[in-house]
């Protein structure tokens, strides 16, 4: 006889299967549980489901709703998988501001800002596209117009927008309009998204200063746009550098080597420009 608790579990499984945010692999596992072709008891099915989901769960790499369901059926400590999303929607205090930068994969754009004094939060997300609440898979498909970016909430009494701009320029190849480093395509373009006229003026000045510095042989192609809407990314993308340390270090090392080569090219270009 099915209990009320059993009914709730089945309803959660049905909802996750219908949820457009559920990944195809997750949906397939849930459908297999629902279909129960071998006629196992619910407890047996849930044990199987736990074992299927666990490898990604321990790495916090399940989609948010599936992660919440996994935690509920395992009895593990509940974690707020929407903390970044809730922070995004909180109203800012008078001394707080937001900067939004796109510079390739957002996994590598968080740590350089996150550890600075005056940084309240750094949220990975999507900006500049045509649909509401885009998923990672939709953005990755390169058909929505969204660009991976980070929203930096900062205390303007401790750090300025100009300082954040300076850090941003040091993290990217401003001559590459087709992506950044190993990340190619429209969703990885370098863009400064501004939230007001003051930021627009400062961003334009920083770009002009970069052009006038003649550090690069190729044109500076970083776009400056008004931000229309920033959508926080799924939980498994947030604070990637903390959750997936080894993988992040490998990606960071690759970007660091590329930037080192870029700095060498800049130095050589500057030397020969002066000689001319």
Element (H, E) at 69: helix 64-74
For the annotated catalytic residues, the residue numbers are: 105
Alpha-carbon gap, residue 151 to 231, rounded angstroms: 9
Residue for token pair 């609440």: 133
DSSP string across 219-234: PP--EEEE---EEEPP
Residue 56 neighbours by CB under 8 Å, 6+ apart: 62
Residue 199 neighbours by CB under 8 Å, 6+ apart: 99, 161
Residue 269 has phi, psi (to 5 degrees) of -60, -40
């Amino acid at each position: 006889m099915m209990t009320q608790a059993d009914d709730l579990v089945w309803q959660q499984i049905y909802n996750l299967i219908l949820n457009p945010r559920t990944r195809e692999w997750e949906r397939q596992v849930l459908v297999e549980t629902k279909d129960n072709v071998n006629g196992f008891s619910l407890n047996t099915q849930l044990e199987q489901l736990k074992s299927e989901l666990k490898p990604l769960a321990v790495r916090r790499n399940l989609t948010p709703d599936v992660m919440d369901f996994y935690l509920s059926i395992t009895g593990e400590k509940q974690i707020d998988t929407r903390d970044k999303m809730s922070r995004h929607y909180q109203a800012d205090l008078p001394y707080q501001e937001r900067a939004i930068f796109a510079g390739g994969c957002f996994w590598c754009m968080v740590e350089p800002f996150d550890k600075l004094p005056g940084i309240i939060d750094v949220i990975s997300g999507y900006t500049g596209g045509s649909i509401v609440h885009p998923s990672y898979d939709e953005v990755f498909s390169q058909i929505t117009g969204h660009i991976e970016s980070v929203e930096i909430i900062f205390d303007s009494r401790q750090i300025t927008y100009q300082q954040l701009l300076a850090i941003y320029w040091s993290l990217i190849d401003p001559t590459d309009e087709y992506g950044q480093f190993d990340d190619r395509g429209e969703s990885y373009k370098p863009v400064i998204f501004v939230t007001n006229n003051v930021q627009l003026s400062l961003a334009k000045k920083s770009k002009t200063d970069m052009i006038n510095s003649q550090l690069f042989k190729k044109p500076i192609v970083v776009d400056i746009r008004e931000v229309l809407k920033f959508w926080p990314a799924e939980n498994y993308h947030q604070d990637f550098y903390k959750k997936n340390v080894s993988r992040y270090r490998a990606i960071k090392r690759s970007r660091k080597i590329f930037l080192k080569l870029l700095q060498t090219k800049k130095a050589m270009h500057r030397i020969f420009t002066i000689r001319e």
